[in-house]
């Protein structure tokens, strides 16, 4: 897997785990065009070859900011055509993260504003520092969320709460983000990454095909009516039956030992 990027740090902190760090701390880890292309490339690699890792942790460099959203310095003076061209890069970036077949967990180490908040929402779930803050501020500068925020946020917090957050454009605290389901856990700043990696490792210890199929079933089933979702679930379930991992899991249970999953 490629690890040489200009705006990202891509590392393997533990077996089967990849950590992707937004690495523009001098400009609040803001999203420029290069970062959009590089995030797309990094996450698209997992769609091509899911065996590259069993879980991904997405975080930001530094201790105060996860991502401040799009780099408005780069956007200053852009023509309408160039603005739309850049935004298409960001659209592909968000789709690459949302469509990633393996679990993606955000470790939100600080402020997650605008596109940074949308990156958090694009992940499967998120842990956050107790000092983190979240906002979709786009309406305050004459645009609106365009990184799937108007779609992902209502699916998490509900329509009325999402309207309050998006139309007001004001930050919410980490405590409110936890209460409303934007994040799953609050951590002390010093332990955030460790706790997120621990959760990712626990996921990575499970059967990787099973994890990917369960994620697929949850994500796509929620877009369907219940009966269609149940049919999707059974299709995903049936793919587990002929796998080596299914046989290994049952054998390990009966032999009272830890299973050794191979992803096949």
Distance (Å, whole) CA 198 – CA 101: 20
- Catalytic-labelled residue, pool 118, 135, 177, 236: 118
- Catalytic-labelled residue, pool 60, 115, 116, 149: 115
Reading the block at residue 148, the tokens are 């799937």
Residue 189, C-beta contacts closer than 8 angstroms, at least 6 positions apart:
63, 109, 129, 130, 131
* 233 in catalytic set: no
- Catalytic-labelled residue, pool 28, 68, 70, 236: 70
- Catalytic-labelled residue, pool 138, 147, 204, 207: 138
* 115 in catalytic set: yes
* 81 in catalytic set: no
* 263 in catalytic set: no
Show which residues are catalytic. Answer: 70, 115, 118, 138
């Amino acid at each position: 897997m490629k690890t040489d990027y200009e705006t990202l740090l891509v590392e393997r902190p533990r077996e089967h785990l990849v950590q992707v760090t937004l690495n523009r701390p001098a400009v609040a880890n803001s999203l420029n065009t290069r970062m959009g292309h590089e995030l797309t490339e990094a996450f698209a690699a997992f769609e091509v070859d899911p065996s590259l890792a069993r879980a991904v942790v997405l975080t930001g460099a530094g201790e105060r900011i996860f991502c401040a959203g799009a780099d408005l310095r780069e956007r200053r003076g852009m023509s309408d055509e160039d603005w739309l061209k850049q935004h298409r890069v960001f659209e592909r970036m968000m789709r690459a993260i949302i469509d990633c077949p393996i679990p993606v967990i955000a470790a939100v180490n600080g402020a997650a504003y605008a596109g940074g908040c949308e990156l958090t929402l694009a992940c499967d779930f998120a842990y956050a520092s107790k000092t983190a803050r979240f906002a979709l501020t786009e309406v305050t500068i004459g645009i609106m969320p365009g990184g799937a925020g108007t779609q992902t946020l209502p699916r998490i917090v509900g329509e009325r709460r999402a309207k309050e957050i998006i139309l007001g454009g004001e930050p919410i605290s980490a405590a409110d983000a936890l209460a409303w389901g934007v994040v799953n856990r609050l951590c002390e700043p010093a332990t955030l990454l460790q706790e997120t990696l621990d959760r990712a490792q626990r996921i990575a210890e499970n059967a990787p095909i099973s994890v990917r199929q369960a994620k697929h079933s949850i994500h796509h089933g929620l877009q369907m009516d219940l009966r269609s979702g149940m049919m999707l679930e059974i299709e995903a379930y049936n793919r587990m039956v002929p796998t080596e991992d299914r046989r290994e899991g049952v054998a390990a249970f009966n032999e009272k030992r830890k299973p050794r999953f191979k992803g096949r």
